[in-house]
Structure 1
Amino acid sequence: MNPAVPPRDDILIEIEKATGYTFTNPSLCLKALQTAGCAAAGGQKSLAQVGDAALRLALVTIGYGKGASRGQIDSALRTKASNSHLADQGFERGFDGCVYRIGGVDVSMKMMATAVQAVLGAVFLDCNKNIYRSPTPYPDD
């Protein structure tokens, strides 16, 4: 574990504040913050795949519900689900202080985007795959 990363309970509090979601299974959240080099079986990569799919599903469903055109939905997907946007959101919310990584390595944009996707995946699984119970992906953006 990186000594710069705060204790487990502090990490959970920070992530829950940043997402607006309280985990019933905190281990999902913590797994989402483990980079590939810090954990067996690739760390957060599988959760990041779930998070990417859940984010896309949420954005398409929200767009559909608002009567958005396919072009508008595609534009939202290109913007909101992009690695650069996800990384920016993670850094703005202080996730970089919560990501477990090997020996003080700086959190890159790619690492941050993967961590945000993994946290979204953890939320999606923790709320029993109910996108309506999950927090809306970055509603203010």
Structure 2
Amino acid sequence: MNPAVPPRDDILIKIEIATGYTFTNPVFCLKALQTAGCATAGGQKSLAQVGDAALRLALVTIGYGKGASRGQIDSALRTKASNSHLADQGFKRGFDGCVYRIGGVDVSMKMMATAVQAVLGAVFLDCNKNIYRSPTPYPDD
């Protein structure tokens, strides 16, 4: 474990504050923050796949509910679900101090985007796949 990373309780609290979601099963969140090589194979990447799909579902559902056109929804997907946007949001919220990685390597944009997707996947699974209970992914950004 990286000595620069704070204790798990502090990490969990930081992520819960940043997402506005309190985990019922914190293991989901902690697994989402473990980069390749720090945990069992596929943990974070599998959660990131779930998170990417959940984010897209949420954005499409929200757009549909607001009566947005397909073009507007596609535009929201291109911007809000992009790796660069997700990485920016993760760094803005200080997730880089929470990501477990080997040897204290700096968190890259790709690593951060994957971590954010994985956290979104963790939230989605923890709330029993209820997109209406999940926090809206960064509504103001």
Q: Which moved more, 1:79-88 or 1:31-40?
A: 31-40
Are 1:37 and 1:43, in contact at CA under 8 Å, matched by a contact in 2? Answer: no
Q: What percent identity do the matched residue pairs reach?
A: 96
Q: Deviations over 1:84-135 (max 9, x none)?
A: 0000000000000000000110000000000000000000000000000000
Q: Secondary structure at the match of 1:30?
A: helix
2:81 alignment counterpart: 81
- Distance (whole Å) between structure 1 residues aligned to residue 57 and residue 99 of structure 2: 25
Query: Moved runs in structure 1, 4+ residues, more than 3 A?
Result: none
Q: Give yes or no for contact 1:21–1:123 (8 Å, CA) kept in 2.
A: yes
Partners of 1:106 and 1:32 in 2: how far apart?
Answer: 17
2:133 is paired with a residue of what secondary structure?
Answer: coil
1:36 aligned counterpart, secondary structure: coil
Residue 43 of structure 1, CA deviation: 3.2
* Shift in Å, 1:42: 2.6
Shift of residue 58 of structure 1? 0.1
Inter-partner Cα distance in structure 2 for 1:5 and 1:76: 33
Matching residue of 1:94: 94
| Cα-to-partner distance string for 1:47-85 (whole Å, 9 max, x where unaligned) | 000000000000000000000000000000000000000
Does residue 6 (structure 1) correspond to residue 6 (structure 2)? The answer is yes
* 2:15 is aligned with 1:15: yes
* 1:35 and 1:42 in contact (8 A); partners too: no
CA deviations over 1:7-61 (Å, ceiling 9, x no partner): 0000000000000000000000000000011112133000000000000000000
| Number of residues of Structure 1 aligned to a counterpart in Structure 2 | 141
What TM-score do you get using the length of structure 2 for normalisation? 0.99
1: CA distance between counterparts of 2:112 and 2:44? 11
Q: CA RMSD in A?
A: 0.5
Contact 1:51 1:117 in 2 (8 A): yes
Secondary structure, in 3 states, of the residue corresponding to 1:41? coil
Question: 1:86, 1:117 within 8 Å by CA — same for their partners in 2?
Answer: yes
